[in-house]
Structure 1
């Protein structure tokens, strides 16, 4: 059995093996990275892929690994490098990190060449080395600190010290991170409300693929009114002028109206500018 490496004779990292490090954007999470944004190191890995691999392929691997459900990655454990991917994703989630998202940055070192790629909405964008990075590379101490509660890794804020004792930069990073978490939660909740409305519509009117409705306010607050329903071939199944009551309409309209109470959650509905009608498509899952 080989002798364990110690700090006194720890082997040097292999410069030929691709290194990938994930950095979360603290300044403007979920928005495209801009020069000057502050980043926080979350995790880094050495991969067993060929040294000549395209950096963009490694970045694609990172995006998938740190976004796809663990259940799916578990099914791929026996594929080439599937175990490495599964374990990397497990560690990332056990540390409480959010998904790799728009605005975050991936740092790659492949065959001694360093590349910084920012995650944009539809692609990766090469950037200059960022000037503002907090946190330490992933190592054993990261796990020990997490287990003893000395770090807050959920949103990549560097410490759990009382807010009043943090410096200006750390306070800004903490507020930004918590706000980003709140916005992400609101977006998720709004999508769940839309999914609830879609399920109720499908139960009341089998075959419905699209509903049209109005959003507004009444004396009780936000309100929604159903206008029409169509199947997948655009055939009208129901209309408010038909004189037929929609069964249990509130099961659909209540969650639709509730989305207005979460303005930071965005809108999962289609809407023509200047119009007063909205559409919810039921043919695809509302995640």
Structure 2
């Protein structure tokens, strides 16, 4: 099943729990084909690991079926000089049938209602991936 992930950085509350009034900025998006039983929380946790670990340590610390693609994704995130995915940030996971919004907590993730204070990146697009990940651009 194809999973589409969009990372939103919290412009108002980095390192604090997400609140509805916080402004979210779309920072990065990617798509991956994963087993149908993959949960949104598992994918959010994998994304957190990917965007916080040194890419050189990726193979041993953040196992994935496609390490080369994960390495490329982590490098693309860093090449844009994006800050780490942190407490207060939000991840949207979308499949053909479900959309799930998750806020990063101190330990794990909390499901939230779709936020209303979401803004596109300054150039109206956010980063995409290539290779085994489907290329995607979202506002």
Shared topology, TM-score over 0.5? yes
| Alignment gaps of 5+ in structure 2 | 129-139
Report what 2:69 is aligned to.
84
Say yes or no: does 1:48 pair with 2:33: yes
- Asked if structure 1 preserves the Cα contact closer than 8 Å seen for 2:50 and 2:62, the reply is no
- Asked if structure 2 preserves the Cα contact closer than 8 Å seen for 1:66 and 1:100, the reply is yes
Aligned length: 125
Say yes or no: does 1:66 pair with 2:51: yes
For 2:17 and 2:112, the matched residues in 1 are separated by 12
> Structure 1 segments of 4 or more deviating over 4 A?
74-79
- Asked if structure 1 preserves the Cα contact closer than 8 Å seen for 2:27 and 2:127, the reply is no
Report what 1:122 is aligned to.
107
Distance 1:78 1:104, change over 3 A: closer
For 1:100 and 1:77, the matched residues in 2 are separated by 15
Tell me how large the CA RMSD over aligned residues is. Answer: 2.1
Cα displacement (A) at 1:78:
9.7
Report what 1:132 is aligned to.
117
Distance 1:52 1:110, change over 3 A: farther
Higher relative contact order (CA closer than 8 Å, sequence separation 6+): 2
Larger Rg: 1
Cα displacement (A) at 1:35:
0.8
Q: Which has the higher helix share?
A: 1
Task: Pick from 79, 103, 107 the counterpart of residue 92 of structure 2.
Answer: 107
TM-score of the superposed pair, with normalisation by structure 1 = 0.41
- Asked if structure 2 preserves the Cα contact closer than 8 Å seen for 1:51 and 1:111, the reply is no
For 1:37 and 1:102, the matched residues in 2 are separated by 13
| Alignment gaps of 5+ in structure 1 | 1-15, 141-287
For 1:20 and 1:86, the matched residues in 2 are separated by 16
TM-score of the superposed pair, with normalisation by structure 2 = 0.81
SS of equivalent to 1:18: strand
Distance 1:78 1:29, change over 3 A: closer
Task: Pick from 17, 21, 33 the counterpart of residue 2 of structure 2.
Answer: 17
